[in-house]
């Protein structure tokens, strides 16, 4: 399968996905890395591996205009799936509907807990024994789509949001490539295809 990855920042999850895709037997290839932030350091990592990159700053553009530019690059790349990896823009409802079931995201909490921002501080403040990360299908409602896979990370007694974030990142880098590989492979599962066809027929 061909996947595109949207990033806004350091792109460490993008790098994990990219290098996993370079291992023999990967069921997905990265065909595009795109960003709304010209300074996203992940763009250079992708370019170094010969992956096509695209940048379109959101500054000075409406959401619709910015989304349209990103979607044009996405379509030109031939990607079948869109993977969000620290992409800090909310996609318009229309965009998400056009790509229904084909946009995935990783969120640094054990969803449905702690949607939105500051997930580490909120988990520590609540006295939770574990934080973690979730890979989910993107729907118009923020961080609310079907959860595909999760990883748990123990919260230590002396934890700070930064120390916890470091370990959750390590865990995310293991989780995301595997979840994407599983998800794109599921497309070839006859039961899954049958469910999709039936859903479309209703």
Residues that bind ligand GRF (CB under 6 A): 7, 9-14, 85-86, 106-108, 133, 169, 172
Residue nearest ligand GRF by beta-carbon distance: 86
Per the annotation, the verdict on 107 as an active-site residue is yes
Taking the complex as a whole, the smallest distance from the CB of residue 165 to ligand GRF amounts, in Å, to 7
Contact 182, 20 (CB under 8 A): no
User: What six digits make up the tokens of 44?
Assistant: 């250079």
CB closer to ligand GRF, 72 vs 178: 178
User: Which CB sits closer to ligand GRF, 142 or 199?
Assistant: 142
Q: Radius of gyration over alpha carbons of the chain, in Å? A: 17
Annotated binding-site members: 11-13, 63, 88-91, 105
Rounded to a whole number of angstroms, the minimum distance from the CB of residue 200 to ligand GRF is 30
Return d(Cα 178, Cα 148) in angstroms, integer. 11
Measured from the CB of residue 40, what is the shortest distance to ligand GRF in angstroms? Answer: 8
Burial class (CB in 10 A: 0-12, 13-18, 19+), 2: middle
Catalytic residue among 56, 58, 66, 107: 107
Question: In angstroms, what is the minimal distance from the CB of 87 to ligand GRF?
Answer: 8
Query: Measured from the CB atom, is 12 or 36 closer to ligand GRF?
Result: 12
User: Which residue, 12 or 77, has its beta carbon nearer to ligand GRF?
Assistant: 12
In our burial notation (b when 16+ CB lie closer than 10 A, e otherwise), range 116-154 reads eeebbebbbeeebeebbbbbbbbbeeebebebbbbbebe
d(CA 130, CA 168): 10
Chain mean position to CA 152: 18
List binding-site positions for (6R)-10-formyltetrahydrofolate: 63, 88-91, 105
Our CA angle for 24, 29, 31, nearest 5°, is: 145
- List C-alpha distances in Å: 116 to 12, 40, 91: 20, 21, 14
Report, as residue numbers or ranges, the catalytic residues. 107
């Amino acid at each position: 399968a061909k996947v595109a990855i949207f990033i806004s920042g350091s792109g460490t999850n993008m790098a994990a996905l990219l290098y996993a895709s370079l291992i023999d037997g990967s069921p997905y290839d990265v065909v595009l890395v795109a960003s709304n932030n010209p300074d996203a350091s992940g763009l250079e990592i992708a370019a170094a591996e010969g992956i096509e990159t695209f940048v379109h700053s959101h500054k000075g553009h409406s959401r619709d205009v910015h989304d349209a530019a990103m979607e044009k690059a996405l379509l030109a790349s031939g990607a079948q799936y869109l993977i969000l990896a620290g992409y800090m823009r909310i996609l318009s409802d229309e965009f998400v509907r056009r790509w229904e079931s084909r946009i995935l995201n990783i969120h640094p909490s054990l969803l449905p807990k702690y949607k939105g921002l500051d997930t580490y501080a909120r988990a520590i403040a609540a006295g939770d024994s574990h934080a973690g990360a979730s890979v989910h299908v993107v729907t118009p409602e923020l961080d609310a789509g079907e959860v595909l896979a999760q990883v748990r990370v123990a919260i230590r007694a002396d934890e700070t949001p930064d120390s916890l974030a470091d370990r959750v990142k390590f865990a995310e880098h293991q989780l995301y490539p595997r979840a994407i590989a599983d998800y794109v492979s599921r497309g070839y599962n006859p039961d899954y295809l049958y469910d999709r066809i039936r859903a479309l027929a209703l």
